[in-house]
Amino acid sequence: MQCIQRQRKRSRSETLVHEAHSKRAIRHNASLLGMEGDPDLKFLLTGGDLLKVRSRSWKKTRFYKLQEDCKTMWHESQKKLRSAKNFTLEDIAAVRAGRQTEGLRKYTDEAVEGRAFSILFKGRRKNLDLIASSEEEAKLWVSSLEKVIGNMNNLNRQQKSEHWIYNCMLKADKNRDNKMSHKELKSFLHHINIEVDDDYAKMLFEKCDQSKCGYLDGKEIEHFYEILTQREEIDVIYAAYAKTNGLMSAQNLLDFLLSEQRETVTLNEAISIIEKCELDESAKEKKLMTKDGFLMYLHKPESMVFNPAHNKVYQDMSQPLNHYFISSSHNTYLMQDQLKGPSSTEAYIRALMKSCRCVELDCWDGSDSEPVIYHGYTLTSKILFKDAIKAIKEYAFKTSEYPVILSLENHCSVEQQKLMAYHMISILGSALVTKPLGDKMPTCFPSPEELKGRFLIKGKRLNKLEAIFSPEAQGEGDESVTEEEESADEEAEDKNEDKPKKSKKLKLAKELSDIVIYCKSVHFHGFEDAQKSLSFYEMSSFKEGKAVKLAEESANDYIRHNVDKLSRIYPAGLRTDSSNYNPVPLWNGGCQIVALNFQTPCSEMDLNQGRFLQNGMSGYILKPAYLRNAESEFDPITLTRGEWLQHKVLHIMVISAQQLPKMNKKKSSIVDPLVRVEIFGVPADVSEKETEHIENNGFNPTWNENFQFDVYVPDLALVRFVVEDHDSTSDNEFIGQYTLPFKSLQNGYRHVPLLNKNGDILPAAGLFIHIMALDAE
């Protein structure tokens, strides 16, 4: 939202009005954030000069200042024809003190370390690298930004909504007189994504203009706000249970929680909810809940569609590592496509901060005898291997304490392989697993619990792991391969050709071989061969096409193979745009390491984010028992009877949406929203249903449409809510989505948050639904 534009010079009286208006706005927004009189907020609102760094030669001073909405950061360009620029604090992913980005390390000297800091944005927007005039000032910028962002993130959806609507009203008040004319009201409605005809706008205006003076002021604006934000669907639900003089008693609330929300709660817990959510002190004293308090309860995180019990690690983490689905990335170093996109240590940080637990490092010989990471034989930029390892070490366990697998794609000479081993051992230290846990040869993987805070290396190994304990097992391991070698063999196999002759077998440095413990890369020669010849720690990588074929044609064999082996799946090389494949059929086949291009926003990444949303977003999900049983008869394709068959009927009523963002930034554009509910899982469960579209209303559209789905294997099912802007002449435009495991759904009346295409929360937007998952009769 652009808040400042170049304006004509104001008169003295206009300046005074403007300043008074700004002060009122700041007081209101600071109050919403719980930061009235806060010195850190005051510092940002005052603003200051910072040196912006883009290259060695491009370093320019810019004035940065937080605007009166307390969420938009503004700076003015020095170019005469360019308008002022801004970004919202909601766009910021992190603020980092010091020279932590590649740009600052490359373009500045160590002398500015204490004065430097960076603002990192969500999505693909470039970092903002800045230098303050002193170390104290840099610390103040970092701590103040983090504090305001933290307070903003702590607002519930209702408070975020109020914040957003209030500041939309400010923007509509063009002459800043704290009044709203009929024209300004129309502008405001457009801005909040709702189109009304002139007659309705006139009727609404006249209803609120009780003083009949031709504009809305004070209490009249408050009345307009109340009409605008009234939610009839909430009124109906509340009225059905507010049986105590028009209010909800604790017993009334308990009745609602038991019959509608299907929650197992007591009267004391209902009283506790009133104490937490009720804003009216008089009602709270009498243990009563008003409609505002009820709405506050419905907006609480624990009342949303996602089961709050799944927000923490709740699964058994003491099973062998291969009994889990593991959140995994392909070409992790890339920020964009794999032909000419930039490589960056930032890409590793972003993946790890999303709880990715298996990252890939494509390693090649670099100049100055230092190995580098990039996509070989392409125009992608290069980063130093040691810099990637440093970034991985620093960020590996910030969002999850469970082990990280470093998947090496090794193309280096023996000398540079030795350096790779040296860097990993020296940088990762005792966190790197360099020998089996315990004092004897293991027979299965250790658990995620045993490997907390540890790194595992996946790559080639010269000999069997048994050689550590038995000198007789020292033979050369010719079966170690890279993914590229495995892929070339598969392509030749598909064309019924002989396997390509390798021009020269890559020699492996003993130092690098010795730190490959639990994840030795080997060829796959069929399930029978793997069962007879491979040890538990010898794992194969499968290109997506072969993996999908196995999951469709030999599903049960694949499942049994993955009971005691690890499988890594990776995208086909033809995906030069770094697009992704559907991971669901591979999870159905028990594959643990289903690697996706994390840098590419798409529905497949939405599914991955949804799959790993549960279990505290630890990056590890325990597979169902029938995917961990060597005698399992489960086949997701034929779906014979067994413990996996738990037929459920899912009833979903899509009731309404709130504050959907505009997709087209044109002032005249208004969203025509529709909602699609999609089920992913075994083939029998795959389904989707769609509402009608609502014309010209992205602010508070209402559908009240009912859908019913049959779900036969709920353990493996994912539910995805998608909101689109309907277009009759071209493809609908994506607005937002939310994906979660079927078994993480909460019954009853629930709000559904919405995420943008990058997987980040849309602050005030959401759906309101009624959901009921029942056993089929």
Q: What are 403-443's pLDDT values in tens digits? A: 999 999 999 999 999 999 999 999 999 999 999 999 899 99
pLDDT band at 6 (very low <50, low <70, confident <90, very high): very low
Q: Fold for domain 648-775?
A: Immunoglobulin-like (2.60.40)
Please give the Cα distance from 392 to 406 (Å, whole number). 9
**Rounded to whole angstroms, how far apart are CA atoms 170 and 67?**
12
User: Residues 660, 664, 670, 675: is their CA dihedral positive or negative?
Assistant: negative
- Dihedral sign (CA 754, 588, 567, 497): negative
- Would you list which residues are annotated within the binding site for substrate? 52-79, 458, 460, 541, 568
CATH 2.30.29.30 in the chain, residues? 12-154
Average pLDDT over residues 484-504: 51
Contact 125, 102 (CB under 8 A): no
Residue spans in the chain of domains classed CATH 1.10.238.10: 158-229, 232-303
For residues 206 and 220, the answer to whether their CB atoms sit within 8 Å is: no
Every domain of the chain with CATH number 3.20.20.190 lies at: 321-462+474-627
Q: In 356-413, which ranges are continuous DSSP H helix?
A: 385-395
Q: Worst-scoring range by mean pLDDT, 311-325, 359-373, 466-480, 526-540?
A: 466-480
Fold of the CATH domain 158-229: Recoverin; domain 1 (1.10.238)
CATH 1.10.238.10 correct for 232-303: yes
Annotated binding-site positions for Ca(2+): 331, 360, 362, 409, 670, 672, 696, 725, 727
Token pair, residue 37, equals: 């009189």
In this prediction, residue 193 has a pLDDT band, given cuts at 50, 70 and 90, of: confident
CA-CA distance, 325 to 85, in Å (whole number)?
43
Question: How does residue 5 score in pLDDT terms, banded at 50, 70 and 90?
Answer: very low
Contact 406, 421 (CB under 8 A): no
- Residue 568 sits at φ, ψ, to 5 deg, of -115, 130
Instruction: List the beta bridge partners of residue 400.
Output: none
Q: For the chain, give the number of residues.
A: 777
Residues of each annotated binding site: 52-79, 331, 360, 362, 409, 458, 460, 541, 568, 670, 672, 696, 725, 727
Instruction: Classify domain 321-462+474-627 at the CATH superfamily level.
Output: Phosphatidylinositol (PI) phosphodiesterase (3.20.20.190)
Q: Looking at residue 177, what is its pLDDT?
A: 72
DSSP 522: B
* More confident: 340 or 240: 240
Residues 375, 423, 523, 770: which is the catalytic one?
A: 375
Helices 267-277 and 291-299: angle between axes, nearest 10 degrees: 100
Q: Is 375 a catalytic site residue?
A: yes
**Angle, in degrees to the nearest 10, between helices 544-553 and 555-564:** 110
CATH number for the domain whose boundaries are 12-154: 2.30.29.30
Domain with CATH 2.60.40.150 in the chain: 648-775
Q: Do residues 653 and 705 lie in contact, with contact meaning Cβ atoms separated by under 8 Å?
A: yes
If one compares 158 and 453, the residue with the highest pLDDT of the two is 453
The predicted pLDDT at position 505 comes to: 64
Note whether 395 and 381 are within 8 A (CB).
no
Which listed residue (330, 423, 561, 751) is catalytic? 330
State both tokens at 626: 């029938």
